[in-house]
């Protein structure tokens, strides 16, 4: 459900739907507008922000309903996540299926889930003004990274129940190197969020070059922190995003070689899981290339070839991160680790 929720967030972004609901009603917001009056009231709220005034002023009520659906569904799915969590937790608690050690992780999961919802609303608020047509790219990236932290913590909790201790592999060097790879993956995901938030693929829809060069001249400009030079910022972010992709291929290839060389226990979980990252990173890079090359096909508020590649790119990115988390759990730092 967390993976689906993240993908729904991607669809919401790609269809320009994220600012269609200008209020945050955690309880009452579950139901969409139920009559013409309520629809017109919601549409009037959307008409007050910059996205409508500067980009979608030709929208009819029917157009508004189309983008409203995705943002509403994204929020409803988040509420369903809480309901599923609450029902499952209550049922297993009554049945006394929990050990005491499980209570703390469940509390952390609940807090992380609630915090993610708050981050989502704060992100939306960055676009609810008269000047911007999208949410701020840094806020969007934070929202995505927070979702990945929630997903990884959920996965780690599950792995504690799924993988027997005797099937974990012991090697301090590989454990530490796995952490390094995960840090780089998170950094890459952060820049992926920047790419998505500022529509940076459009700045250089070419590969292997970046508009005919491999090191853009904009690296020497002030297009890094401030939004005043958005064109330069887009190119710089894409340059870093590509560079991190090439770095990840190298790091994961080294990691795969290390694990293959060191693992001698035929029962070790890593004999199987070591293959996941090397396969996924290759698929991910290819999807990234296809996404950039297809960015010229973007049509406002439409879902086409670019949007399909972008969603697949996001999905495989999540799988790549989680594959590294699985491998991190499959390794023990030393014999004394617990």
Give tens-digit pLDDT for 273-297. 999 999 999 999 999 999 999 988 7
pLDDT for 20-56, tens place per residue? Answer: 999 888 766 788 889 999 999 999 999 999 999 999 9
Dihedral Cα 118, 124, 130, 134, nearest 10 deg: 150
pTM of whole model > 0.85? yes
pLDDT for 131-148, tens place per residue? Answer: 988 999 999 999 999 999
DSSP string for residues in 95-128: TT---GGGHHHHHHHHHHHHHHHHHHHHHHHTT-
Residue with token string 């799924």: 162
Please list, in sequence order, all residues whose beta carbon lies within 8 angstroms of the beta carbon of residue 316, skipping any fewer than 6 positions away: 280, 283, 284, 287
Cα–Cα distance for residue pair 230/236, rounded to 1 Å = 10
Q: State both tokens at 225.
A: 């922190």
Side-chain-side CA neighbours of residue 158 (13 Å): 9
What is the predicted pLDDT for the residue at 196?
92
Q: What is the mean pLDDT of residues 223-243?
A: 78
Cα–Cα distance for residue pair 3/8, rounded to 1 Å = 9
- pLDDT at position 75 over 50: yes
Considering only CA atoms, which of 202, 101, 89 is closest in space to residue 160? 101
- pLDDT at position 108 over 80: yes
Q: Which SS3 state, helix, strand or coil, does residue 206 take?
A: coil
- pLDDT at position 335 over 60: no
Rg of the Cα atoms in the chain: 22
- DSSP E strands: which ranges in the chain? 169-170, 331-332
Q: Which of 2-6, 178-182, 267-271 has the lowest mean pLDDT?
A: 267-271
The mean predicted confidence, pLDDT, of the chain is 89
- pLDDT at position 175 over 80: yes
Cα–Cα distance for residue pair 145/11, rounded to 1 Å = 17
What is the predicted pLDDT for the residue at 337?
43
Q: Which SS3 state, helix, strand or coil, does residue 37 take?
A: helix
Work out whether the CA dihedral 326, 331, 333, 336 comes out positive or negative.
positive
Cα–Cα distance for residue pair 241/111, rounded to 1 Å = 31
What is the predicted pLDDT for the residue at 161?
86
Q: What is the mean pLDDT of residues 222-227?
A: 52
- pLDDT at position 338 over 50: no
Work out whether the CA dihedral 104, 106, 107, 109 comes out positive or negative.
positive
Q: What is the mean pLDDT of residues 143-161?
A: 94
Cα–Cα distance for residue pair 20/47, rounded to 1 Å = 9
């Amino acid at each position: 459900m967390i993976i689906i929720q993240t993908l729904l967030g991607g669809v919401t972004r790609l269809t320009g739907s994220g600012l269609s609901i200008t209020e945050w009603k955690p309880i009452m917001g579950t139901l969409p507008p139920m009559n013409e009056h309520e629809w017109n009231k919601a549409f009037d709220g959307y008409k007050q922000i910059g996205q409508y005034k500067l980009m979608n002023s030709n929208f009819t009520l029917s157009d508004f309903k189309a983008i409203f659906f995705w943002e509403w569904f994204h929020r409803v799915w988040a509420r369903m996540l809480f309901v599923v969590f609450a029902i499952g937790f209550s049922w297993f608690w009554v049945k006394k299926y929990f050990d005491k050690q499980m209570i703390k992780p469940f509390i952390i999961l609940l807090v992380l889930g609630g915090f993610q919802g708050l981050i989502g609303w704060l992100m939306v608020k960055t676009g609810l003004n008269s000047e911007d047509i999208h949410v701020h790219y840094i806020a969007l990236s934070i929202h995505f990274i927070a979702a990945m932290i929630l997903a990884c913590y959920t996965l780690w909790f599950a792995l504690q129940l799924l993988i027997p201790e005797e099937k974990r592999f012991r090697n301090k060097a590989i454990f530490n190197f796995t952490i390094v790879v995960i840090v780089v993956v998170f950094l890459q995901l952060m820049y992926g969020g920047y790419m998505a938030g500022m529509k940076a693929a459009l700045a250089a829809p070419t590969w292997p070059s970046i508009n005919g060069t491999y090191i853009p001249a904009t690296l020497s400009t002030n297009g890094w922190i401030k939004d005043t030079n958005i064109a330069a910022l887009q190119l710089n972010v894409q340059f870093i995003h590509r560079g991190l992709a090439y770095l990840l291929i190298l790091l994961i290839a080294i990691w795969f070689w290390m694990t293959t060389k060191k693992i001698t226990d035929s029962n070790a979980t890593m004999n199987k899981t070591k293959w996941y990252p090397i396969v996924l990173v290759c698929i991910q890079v290819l999807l990234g290339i296809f996404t950039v090359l297809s960015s010229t096909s973007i049509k406002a508020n439409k879902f086409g070839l670019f949007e399909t590649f972008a969603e697949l790119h996001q999905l495989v990115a999540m799988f790549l991160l989680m594959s590294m988390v699985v491998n991190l759990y499959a390794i023990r730092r030393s014999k004394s680790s617990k």
